[in-house]
Structures are given as C-alpha cells and as structure tokens.
Structure 1
Amino acid sequence: MDSLKENILEKLEHLRENAQQEVLDFLQFLEWRKQNRQESQLSVVSEESDAAWLETDLSNLGSYEPYDWQTGELDKGLPIKYVSGMGVVIVEE
C-alpha cells in the first residue's frame, strides 16, 4: 500500500466514530459528484461557455415578438448554486 493510503488509514484509526462517519459521508459525496459529472454535463456550466455567452451580441433581442407565457410555465425551477471549479450546479435537496 502506498504511503498516502497508509497515512489516511492511520489518521482514520485515531478519529472518533462520528468523525469517521463524516469522512465516509464526504467520500460518498465525492463518488456521487464523479458519477453525476460523467452522466450529465448539462448540470455544469463551464467557464468557457459562460464567457462565450457573455460575449454574445444581444443587440437584436428587441426584434423578437414578446412571448405570451401560459399559466404554469413560470413555475419555480430547480435550485442552483455556483461552485468554484465546477460552475453552476443543481442543488440536490
């Protein structure tokens, strides 16, 4: 076993059980995040696409007809937040 894994295991052995549970929760979060990144890149907006969108010429937006929103179309959406290094992500409740 390499020294990093040995160091981690040694530190885990000295933690109280509730702290070990927190470590396990964090590891499960890391696995979840990796799996969800692979499954769907749609929930993460990259910095490059953010920059491209911000540089888009929006001067012709006034030429479109106003959209007539129907009842229920503007219901509350999914909660999001910005995570540094990841971009905008959907907050799981």
Structure 2
Amino acid sequence: MDSLKQQIVQKLECIPEEALQQVLDFVAFLEWRGENHKQLLSVKSEDSRQEDDAQWLETDLSNLDSYDAYDWQPGELNEGLPVKYYPGKGVVIVEE
C-alpha cells in the first residue's frame, strides 16, 4: 500500500463509528463526480445554474476549514426543500 493510502487508512481507524458513514458518502460522491466529470463540464444549457453547478464541482474546497463558521441570524435562512442522498444516485428532492 502506498504512503497516501496508508495515511488514509490510519485516519479512518481513528474516526468515530458514526462519522464513517459520512466518509463513505463522500467517497461515493467522489466516485460519482469522477464518472460524470466530462458530462458535468460539457453542460450547455440556457439555465445558467447548471453551468454554475459544474463550475462549483470543479472548485478546490480543500481550504474551507480555514474559515470561521457563519452564524446565521433568526429569519436569515429560509427553509428549502427536503433532500436525501442515495448512494449511486446522488442527492434527490424528497417528495412529500
């Protein structure tokens, strides 16, 4: 096993059991993104949100932990639609 994989395995051994599902979900997302990378970048649509989504997926987010958490104020955050993550499928809006 190479050094990077060994480091990942060592970190996984220290993660609490309840956090392992989040790690698995993230790995599934990385696999999905890798499989759909070219398709996401080639999105040509009148809806600019799709283009923004593709750009966001390509953004380097590795330094997000260097920012302070934002403190949402009452009434500042509107409620959105309920979503659920399905491995192999992605995030979908839950029908009520």
TM-score range, shorter chain: 0.3 to 0.5
The TM-score with structure 1 as length reference comes to 0.46
Flag the structure with larger Rg.
1
The TM-score with structure 2 as length reference comes to 0.45
Higher relative contact order (CA 8 A, sep 6+): 1
